[in-house]
Structure 1
Amino acid sequence: MSLRSAVLVAGFVLAALNLRPAIAGVSPLLDEIMTDVGLSPAGGGAVTTVMVVCLGVFGPVTPLLARRFGLDRTLLAGLLVIAAGVALRGLDGAPVLYLGSALAATAIAVMNVSMPAVVKEHFPTRVNLLTGVYVASVVAGATLASGLVIPIEHATGYGWRGVSALLAVPALLAALLWLPQALRKQSGAQNGPRPFGAVLRSPVTWWVTALMGLQSLTFYVMLAWLPTIFLEAGLPADQAGYLLSLTNLVQVVTSLAIPVLAGRRASQVPYVVGAGVLTVLGYLGMLLAPTAAPWLWMIVLGIGQGASFALALLIIALRPADPATVTALSAVAQSVGYAIAALGPLLFGFLREVSGGWTVPLLAGLGVLMVQIVAGWFAGRPATLGKANL
């Protein structure tokens, strides 16, 4: 591998690692943030809500940016804005907390949409492998952020503001590695056709969007409520936290391996359906016997959810014929998908409050998974979006 290729891959991986820490790093520090800033529980929860909403709202601007500036420069700008956003929210006052969070999430939304197109453009013969690397890096970034912010805070004594500012450092390092690529002549989608019309007219787009949204919904539900489910089932708090970490770690390994295998086949249906079934089994374990074998349920759930996320992004990268159409499909699928996902934790909590337990919410989650499997069946079938359809 040449030095240029090594720098390209390293910049790509480090960029992917920056796509979740700004979000995942909030939850462990939330009590401290609320106390320091003077926020109510609703105000504290709004920090994450604002970020997830931004993921859905601002993704559609990405094709416009890519056409104007090119994918590589758009990605570079996203990294710099993430750094600015996480640094800004560490300043004093609730307004800058929300503004910085929204700024970082807007950049993440743009990068979420850009990354599958970057894979298609720079690694056209290794889409399956690099998609796996990309997804594993995203999950690893979330896992590292949620697990390390408290130890870093204790080790440095900086407090939550200093730790928030430190999250800008990996984004700046990624920007430095990506800078040589951004300075090269841009050959991205900006001079190509506008593929949104064909993408919006295709049934494939909406099956892919449903798959992306529903698997994201079940993921964010577990991210928000999984420890609480085990706590109320009788497990100690530290074990409930470890179980969440376990399922996230399993997702890192799964999301790296599955795209390599699934990308070799024209149809990803067996993999998508299998991933959905495994996620169902994880939910059933928590519903029927949460304390009997919780480690097993989390391993099964991690395999299913990690594979589902990886496959959704792999399909986004594989179905279009060119990077411009990848960007358009990614914008639709991820924007609508995250809008769907944002409702999940809220509705899950509402069902818990109304029903007085976790049986009804988990049954609702199983219903969502059934729909996800159906969407995956249609999204995973061979199809091509792009120039031939324009």
Structure 2
Amino acid sequence: MSFRSVLLVAGFVLVALNLRPAIASVSPLLDEIMTDVGLTPAGGGAITTVMIVCLGVFGPLAPLLVRRIGLDRTLLAGLLVLALGIVLRTLDGAPALYAGAAVAAVAIAVMNVIMPSLVKQHFPARVNLFTGLYSACAAAGAATASALMIPLERATGYGWRGVSAMIAVPALAAAALWLPQALAKPDGGPNGPRPFRGVLRSRVTWYVTGLMGLQSLTFYVILAWLPTIFLEAGLPADQAGYLLSLTTLVQVGATFAVPVLAGRRRSQAGYVAAAVLCTMAGYGGLLAAPVTAPWFWMIVLGVGQGAAFGLALLLITLRAPDPTAVTAVSAVAQSFGYVLAAVGPVLFGALRQASGGWTVPLTAGLGLLTAQLVVGWLAGRPATLGKANL
């Protein structure tokens, strides 16, 4: 492998590791942030909500930027803007906090959308391997950031602003590694294909979008409410936290392994069905017997949710014929996905409040997973967007 290839792979991996820490690092520090800035609990929760909404709303910027300046340069710009947003939200005052969170999320939204296109462009013969690699790195980046914030704060004595600003360092390192790719011959431009032509008219796009959206919704519901579900079932707080960590760690392995295996097959429908059924089993365990072998339910749930995430990203790449079309499909799928993800925890919380328990919300979750199974099966069947219609 040439030095340029090594640099490309290293840059790609480091970019993937930067896709989640800016979001995942908020929760461990939230109490301290709220106290320092003077936020209410609703105001503290709004930090993450703002970021998730931006992930959905600003994803469609990516195809326009790619058409204007090219794929690799768009990624470089995203990394630099991400670092800027991370630093901005550590400045004094709530306006800077929210503005920085929004700026960082806009950068992540653009990078989320173009990552499948980068796989299609730079690793066309190994789409399954590099989709699994980057989705696993994204999950690992989130887990690492959430785990290290408090230990870093204690070790350095910098406080939440200092350790939050440190997250900009990996983003700048990724930008440095990606710079040679961005300085190479542009990979797109004003005369390239128009990104959304034909994509919105294809049923394949909407099948993939349905899978991405519903798996995002069911994932963020669990992320937001899992500890509370276990606490109200009678488990102690520390065990509830460990169980959330367990299912998150299991997801890292599943997001890597399943796309690698599924990408070797002509049809991915069976893999999608298996992933959704595992997630349904996890939801069912929480509904019927949350304190009976909870570690088992969390392992099954982690396998299902991790596999579903990796498969959704893989199908975005496989179902489009070229990087331009991949960018457009990714923009549609991820924009709808994150909008649903932002709404899901709020709706489940409202159902919990109205019904007085978790039976109704978790039953609703099983209904959504049934819909995910249907659209996932349709998305997983062999099909490709026709070049002639793009």
- TM-score category of the 2 structures, normalised to the smaller one: over 0.9
Give every structure 1 segment of 4 or more consecutive aligned residues whose post-TM-superposition deviation is greater than 4 Å.
none
State the alpha-carbon separation in 1 of the partners of residues 354 and 275 from structure 2: 30
CA contact (8 A) 2:281 2:300 kept: yes
TM-superposed deviation, 1:234:
1.2
CA contact (8 A) 1:121 1:188 kept: no
What letter corresponds to residue 85 of structure 1 in structure 2? Answer: G
State the alpha-carbon separation in 1 of the partners of residues 102 and 386 from structure 2: 32
CA contact (8 A) 2:197 2:389 kept: no
Question: Structure 1 residue 352 and structure 2 residue 352: aligned?
Answer: yes
Cα deviations by residue, 1:200-221 (Å, 9 ceiling, x for unpaired): 0001111111100000001101
Question: Structure 1 residue 162 and structure 2 residue 162: aligned?
Answer: yes
TM-superposed deviation, 1:389:
2.5
Cα deviations by residue, 1:288-335 (Å, 9 ceiling, x for unpaired): 111110110110000000000000000000001000000000001111
Query: SS of 1:125's equivalent?
Result: helix
CA contact (8 A) 2:221 2:348 kept: yes
Query: SS of 2:197's equivalent?
Result: helix
CA contact (8 A) 2:16 2:134 kept: yes
What does residue 86 of structure 2 align with? 86
TM-superposed deviation, 1:233:
1.0
TM-superposed deviation, 1:385:
1.2
Cα deviations by residue, 1:67-109 (Å, 9 ceiling, x for unpaired): 1111101001111111111111011000000000000000000
What letter corresponds to residue 172 of structure 2 in structure 1? Answer: L
State the alpha-carbon separation in 2 of the partners of residues 34 and 179 from structure 1: 37
State the alpha-carbon separation in 1 of the partners of residues 163 and 22 from structure 2: 11
TM-score by length of 1: 0.98
State the alpha-carbon separation in 1 of the partners of residues 47 and 289 from structure 2: 34
State the alpha-carbon separation in 1 of the partners of residues 225 and 145 from structure 2: 18
What does residue 32 of structure 1 align with? 32
State the alpha-carbon separation in 2 of the partners of residues 243 and 14 from structure 1: 28
Question: Structure 1 residue 71 and structure 2 residue 71: aligned?
Answer: yes
What does residue 197 of structure 1 align with? 197
- Alignment map for 1:61-210 (pairs within 5 Å): 61-188=61-188, 191-210=191-210
What does residue 229 of structure 2 align with? 229
- Alignment map for 1:310-321 (pairs within 5 Å): 310-321=310-321
TM-superposed deviation, 1:338:
0.9
TM-superposed deviation, 1:59:
0.5
What letter corresponds to residue 140 of structure 1 in structure 2? Answer: A
State the alpha-carbon separation in 1 of the partners of residues 265 and 126 from structure 2: 13
> What do you get for the CA RMSD once the two structures are aligned?
1.0
What letter corresponds to residue 337 of structure 1 in structure 2? Answer: G
CA contact (8 A) 1:188 1:323 kept: no
CA contact (8 A) 2:278 2:304 kept: yes
CA contact (8 A) 2:69 2:189 kept: no
What letter corresponds to residue 343 of structure 1 in structure 2? Answer: V
State the alpha-carbon separation in 1 of the partners of residues 190 and 48 from structure 2: 33
What does residue 49 of structure 2 align with? 49
- Structure 2 residue runs without a partner (length 5+): none
State the alpha-carbon separation in 2 of the partners of residues 181 and 381 from structure 1: 34
CA contact (8 A) 1:71 1:189 kept: no
State the alpha-carbon separation in 2 of the partners of residues 23 and 44 from structure 1: 13
State the alpha-carbon separation in 1 of the partners of residues 385 and 190 from structure 2: 18
What does residue 255 of structure 1 align with? 255
What letter corresponds to residue 128 of structure 2 in structure 1? Answer: N
Query: SS of 2:124's equivalent?
Result: coil
TM-superposed deviation, 1:190:
5.2
What does residue 220 of structure 1 align with? 220
TM-score by length of 2: 0.98
Q: CA, structure 1 residues 375+189, in 2 after alignment: closer, same or farther (shift >3 Å)?
A: farther
Cα deviations by residue, 1:223-245 (Å, 9 ceiling, x for unpaired): 11111111111111111111111
Percent sequence identity over matched residues? Answer: 74
Query: SS of 1:194's equivalent?
Result: coil
What letter corresponds to residue 278 of structure 2 in structure 1? Answer: L
Q: CA, structure 1 residues 235+190, in 2 after alignment: closer, same or farther (shift >3 Å)?
A: farther
State the alpha-carbon separation in 2 of the partners of residues 197 and 37 from structure 1: 46
Report how many residues are paired: 390
Which moved further from structure 2: 12-21 or 193-202?
193-202
TM-superposed deviation, 1:195:
4.0
TM-superposed deviation, 1:345:
0.6
Query: SS of 1:126's equivalent?
Result: helix
